[in-house]
Amino acid sequence: MGQGKYFDVGLFGETQEALGAFGSTFYLSLLLSQSCEQYGEIEEEYKRAAASQDLELMGQKEMELHLCQSTLAITAKMLESYHEINS
């Protein structure tokens, strides 16, 4: 048996898979959480720009909001797909 191959089977292999699944789910959940927080912050900045009638800043914040929405959608889809694959 090659060096380290015995860690790929049995209890060690199952633990390795579980840690991989935990890490992936944790990372995607963190990305989703941070994207939600960032969306809220940008949304507030957009409202302030709208109140001050700063059209340039409004345009910038609108693009940032669309980027956050895309990130949220992609992350949610990845999380959903990951759970479907590993269920």
pTM check: above 0.75: no
Reported as a pLDDT band with limits 50, 70 and 90, residue 1 is very low
Contact 28, 78 (CB under 8 A): yes
Q: Residue 20: exposed, middle, or buried by beta-carbon count in 10 A (0-12, 13-18, 19+)?
A: exposed
pLDDT at position 5: 66
Return the axis-axis angle of helices 10-51 and 55-85, rounded to nearest 10°.
Answer: 160
Does the pLDDT of residue 2 top 60, yes or no?
A: no
* Tens-digit pLDDT profile for residues 12-70: 778 888 888 788 888 888 988 999 999 999 999 999 999 999 999 999 999 999 999 99
Does the pLDDT of residue 87 top 80, yes or no?
A: no
Tokens 């049995």 belong to residue: 10
